[in-house]
Structure 1
């Protein structure tokens, strides 16, 4: 398990630093997707996640759902072309688990072509520099001391 500025990053996952997402491989090109602890920290307290309906094709950069944190709603986007298999319906009632364990609560399951996954989803060693750069943008020194920005101060990586 890698750690960066107080955030855990399992080395068996893939990452999308720009969108603060983690990807866990399942079978047949299907990936469970969630928000990294750093993404949760900059969003503030996450309340709910609402997925788009399963069965949709998504172009890279398109939202697969909405994340509600306080009075702000953020689109959550796929970095690659994907088919949305399903959303985690439990998070539409409460996503509080994400605030205490970002890896225990997945958002959606996506089917991604193997070539696209290999090209766009980064292993920890490849993602580390991009995640550190995002942390620098947010002046994020440590998970324990970070204060999420107030509404209007910008949500650089989570706003569409």
Structure 2
């Protein structure tokens, strides 16, 4: 397993650095999707996940659900065209498991066409994009990172 600034990144997953999502192939065109430990850290303590309806056809950039962290609600957007197959219903009552183990607490399963999957990155290709996001958020280490106030965390570009 790879590690970057205290965050684990399993090398058998695919990543999308800008959305902080990981994708685990489950066979055929089905992928389990979750938030990386870095994504969880910058969101703050995650409380709930509310999914959009099953069977929903999603275009890239469209939200498949909402994460609630404290008093903030974040849309979770797919970086690829997909169909929402199933959501992890356990996270609707409490998503606290995401704060403990981001890879065990998946959000949804998406059906993704092979051409769309090609835009997701294996760990060696995702590393530089994830590190750039960490720099943007002034994220030096998972153990010492404190979630900034909304809008105050990222550096000016």
Equivalent residues in 2 for 1:121-160, closer than 5 Å: 121-153=120-152
1:108-129 CA-to-partner distances (Å, cap 9, x unmatched) read 00000012102x1100000000
The equivalent residue for 1:54 is: 54
TM-score scaled to structure 2, two decimals?
Answer: 0.96
User: How far did residue 86 of structure 1 move?
Assistant: 1.0
Equivalent residues in 2 for 1:82-101, closer than 5 Å: 82-101=82-101
1:102-159 CA-to-partner distances (Å, cap 9, x unmatched) read 00100000000012102x1100000000000000000000000000011343679xxx
The equivalent residue for 2:5 is: 5
Do the aligned partners of residues 155 and 24 (structure 1) sit closer, same or farther apart at CA in structure 2, a change above 3 Å counting?
Answer: farther
CA contact (8 A) 1:43 1:155 kept: no
Name the CA distance, whole Å, in 2 between partners of 1:153 and 1:70. 16
Do the aligned partners of residues 154 and 141 (structure 1) sit closer, same or farther apart at CA in structure 2, a change above 3 Å counting?
Answer: closer
1:10-40 CA-to-partner distances (Å, cap 9, x unmatched) read 0000001000000000112000000000000
Q: What RMSD in Å do the two structures reach over aligned CA positions?
A: 1.2
Do the aligned partners of residues 95 and 155 (structure 1) sit closer, same or farther apart at CA in structure 2, a change above 3 Å counting?
Answer: farther
Name the CA distance, whole Å, in 2 between partners of 1:47 and 1:155. 22
Name the CA distance, whole Å, in 2 between partners of 1:51 and 1:155. 27
